[in-house]
Structure 1
Amino acid sequence: MNVSPLVFQRAVLNWFDQCGRKNLPWQQEKNPYRVFISEIMLQQTQVSTVIPYFQRFMERFPDVQTLANANEDAVLHVWTGLGYYNRARNLHRTAKIVLQDFQGKFPTELITLQSLPGIGRSTAGAILSIALQKKAAILDGNVRRVLTRLYAITTWPSEKKTSEQLWHIAEKLTPQKRVADYTQAMMDIGATVCIRGKPHCAICPFKKVCLAHKLGIEKNVPHPKPKKILPVRQTTFLILRNQQHTLLEKRAAMGVWNGLWSFPETTGFSTLHDVQTICQQRFRLAVQAITLGESFRHTFSHFHLDILPAFVTIKSRPSKIMDNEQQIWYNLHHSQAIGLPAPVKKLLKNL
């Protein structure tokens, strides 16, 4: 792209004045806390999905002090369904640090912000530029896509050298003035115009200077992440039910869904006989009836998980099943404020 930063910035801001999004929930009151929550939620998640979660989250945790003083289960409960639960844990930890070490105010220096859990270079830049009007570049997925097309960069954007190149470009193009509008505009252009697959080049403010468009390669840029075949794992959910109660266990602090509440599991797909034996030997429960449901797939970033639900009606509901395990009898008629993985939440709704 052979255009001066000043001319580029003017084009971005003119587009924002005419077409930019100005009514998103987190734009109504631009403070570091609200921008922080929205940016964490928007990592790997679309705006349309985030909006209702952001609104619910702000109703429950309107400021950093309320979030810091909440227990983790309450935070994970509000986050349930949004996925990537480490984001919720990180923002909870960050809130505690901001309250304890910074008197409840977010740091205003890039390096200090980046030292907080879950805040990377781009998120720190967004907090500084959008909430505090300080010059700071961002490089989220949308902005990466815009810049790789503008400069016809054909390597994978997250490759180390390519990422360093894109950061250099992003910092060079970021203006001193109206930096919040510029930052929002770049994200908006990537989300609504310079989209994946088939970008809307006809209405793009950069169509005359975009190298990828000139070369006719905009549909092939950015280069996709090298594909890998995801392994498949199998598990059986033991849905142990007595009237309106079903047993849930808190998962270990390590591994997938760490710290969330889920059904007891067995590795692999279990038979009716297997389930009967497990209920009697592992849980010492008297089984009244067992039905195996249809298996379904839940995909993580690094593997597919095929889940077989085993619906088990038990004759009685002891207050405690096993020692040294965190377990609850979840009331289906009165949901508790706990964090649930998406597949568990879906199954509970259908019970």
Structure 2
Amino acid sequence: MSSPDSTLLKAVRDKGHLLLVTHFNPDGDALGSLLGLADILEGMGKHVLRFLEDPVSHLYRFLPGCGQIQTDMAVVRTFVEHAGDDFLTLCLDCGDEQRLGRHSRELMRFRPLMVIDHHRGNNGFGDGAWIEPHRSSTAEMIYDLAMMLGAKVSSRAAECLFAAISTDTGSFRYESTSSHTFAVAGELVRHGVRPEIVANQLYDNYTLGRLRLMEEVLATLEMHERDRIAVIRVTQNMLERTFTTMADTEYFINFPRAVATVRVAVFLKEVEPGHISVSLRAKGQCDVSLIAARFGGGGHRNASGCRFKGQSMDGVRDLLVDLLRPEVQS
């Protein structure tokens, strides 16, 4: 395991006001890393502002510190102005500046800005970056950063980091899960995490509407290429009928991926008419990050995503199946 360079470590040690940001529609790793690091930094006596462009999904509101998240850019501007030169932006789990969302241009002006991430396609934006694509999660790196800083990890921070690692490893099932990942998870348990409570909140906390949405989504299942490619979809009409949101589709892609013959699962999501978000999940040697990168997306070898505008769901499906066909033949 490598370490962040001295510039990043010095900046985190020296600066008293830190703005923490991550990508839009944050997943468990992005949110857990942000909240966990914020708690660790405040334990060091820092002033920390946690920023997201939208409120936290109900799926993750159990995480300690969610109530301290700001979504108002005016608050961010005031924080930065008050900090003066005693300021640092840390961007977590974000592959490129566009993933910062609708406020990306303004957030990129709050310098210095440094990046901590584990996405292979990260372009190293910012004034400094610590990027380790082989890591299971950004949260695993955050724990190591805390150790390098000699910082205390509270039970609150430990719960956030454990939830982040659990979600980004598929409950410790993905190939990026290493012996170090388990060692970090063990330390987080030692710091007070109750794995059964975190798992219950993450995986056994469905609303009835979410269960009905899952029924509708799984009913769209299509199999291609001798059952090696599975495709599911969700539309805005489905969300309206079940009184749910797109956040409720979290983890649905794991069901078609779990089919024994499936090499790649594709989840088509109608964000709005003509705007399709795609999640790709693979098993074995299929590298879906290369497919996603062709359309301005990215992620990991076995877990990536991209977006399409001005195309139908059927059109996106046909395009992706054609591109994935040679990848699942071997």
| Same fold, judged at TM 0.5 (above) | no
TM-score range, shorter-chain basis?
under 0.3
Larger radius of gyration: 1
Higher strand share: 2
Q: Which has the higher contact order (CA 8 A, sep 6+)?
A: 1
